[in-house]
Amino acid sequence: MPQGLSLSNFRAMLFDVDGTLVDSLHVIVGALGDTFEKYAGIRPSDEEITSLIGMPLHKQLLLFQDSPPSEERLSEMIDFTIHRFDANVSEEVTFEESIEALRMCHQAGLKIALVTSKNAIELESFLKRFVCADVVETTVCASDVHQPKPNPESALLACARLGVEPSEAVMIGDSVYDIRCALEAGVTPIAVGYGASDRSTLLAESPAAFFERPSDLLEWVRDSLLETSCQERK
């Protein structure tokens, strides 16, 4: 058990989406690249675009522009990006072990929330295809808050909607935005290394635990819940 971290101390799990529950990185990078190429006349490298993952879409699209786009143009850019993503969404793949970990947490009685930088349109589309939508008790997206991740508002709102204190929640994510959001909110952050950010970048944010692979996350959840069950039987 990493640093003695046990789910017996928590009542809720807050999950990031992209890079944590689903492997959508190449689809997102492709869609953003198409948009920058069309509207800014340049196509940043995949590495440059990947570094933006975790930011809300409207903030991503303000970058690489000669001048700030008008509201009308920004809206058009957002629509185009979502269209390009949807055109290739069939390439999105779930991290099966992460999904199993989420379901195990739900079955053990933990409250489940999705806390994402997607906007409301993106989230609605995602939930229609998400295999665990039936066990998610609440969601918080960029459209629900004044200041999205890394600001703590998203995590605090998720906890409020679930009826738990921040200290009773764990937040799992693959970017520094997730970790910073959790820490500022008083939620325990867990980093996963199979998404947009590398190990050293995530560990520099001092998460309570780090899991390199989805199978490592699942193993911790299974062992932690088993330990909790054994303690309850004593």
Same domain, 135 and 38: no
Alpha helices in the chain (DSSP H): 25-39, 46-50, 57-60, 71-87, 96-107, 120-129, 153-162, 176-185, 199-203, 214-233
SS3 14: strand
Same domain, 53 and 112: no
H or E segment at 44? Answer: none
Same domain, 47 and 143: no
Q: Among the three residues 90, 113, 136, which one is the final residue of a domain in this structure?
A: 90
Q: What domain range is 196 assigned to?
A: 2-24+93-233
Same domain, 164 and 133: yes
| Phi, psi angle pair for 114, to nearest 5° | -105, 130
Same domain, 117 and 213: yes
Same domain, 169 and 97: yes
- Short-list 186, 139, 138, CA closest to 10: 186
**Residues 30/128, Cβ–Cβ less than 8 Å:** no
Same domain, 56 and 171: no
Same domain, 61 and 111: no
Task: Give the DSSP letter string of 127-178.
Answer: HHH-TTGGG--EEE-GGG-SS-TTSTHHHHHHHHHHT--GGGEEEEESSHHH
- Short-list 163, 196, 217, CA closest to 51: 196
SS3 99: helix
SS3 188: strand
- pTM score, whole prediction: 0.91
CA distance 29 to 3: 34
CATH of the domain at 199: 3.40.50.1000
Same domain, 97 and 86: no
Q: How many domains does the chain have?
A: 2
Q: Residue 226's pLDDT is what?
A: 79
Same domain, 109 and 190: yes
Handedness of CA 153, 131, 203, 55 (dihedral sign): negative
Q: 71-87 and 25-39 helices cross at what angle (nearest 10)?
A: 140
CATH of the domain at 69: 1.10.150
Same domain, 229 and 130: yes
Q: Among the three residues 53, 74, 90, which one is the final residue of a domain in this structure?
A: 90
Q: Residue 71's pLDDT is what?
A: 94
Q: Among the three residues 90, 111, 134, which one is the final residue of a domain in this structure?
A: 90
* Per-position pLDDT tens, the chain of length 234: 455 789 999 999 999 999 999 999 999 999 999 999 999 999 999 999 999 988 899 999 999 988 999 999 999 999 999 999 999 999 999 999 999 999 999 999 999 999 999 999 999 999 999 999 999 999 999 999 999 999 999 999 999 999 999 999 999 999 999 999 999 999 999 999 999 899 999 999 999 999 999 999 999 999 999 776 545 544
Q: Residue 233's pLDDT is what?
A: 41
Same domain, 136 and 223: yes
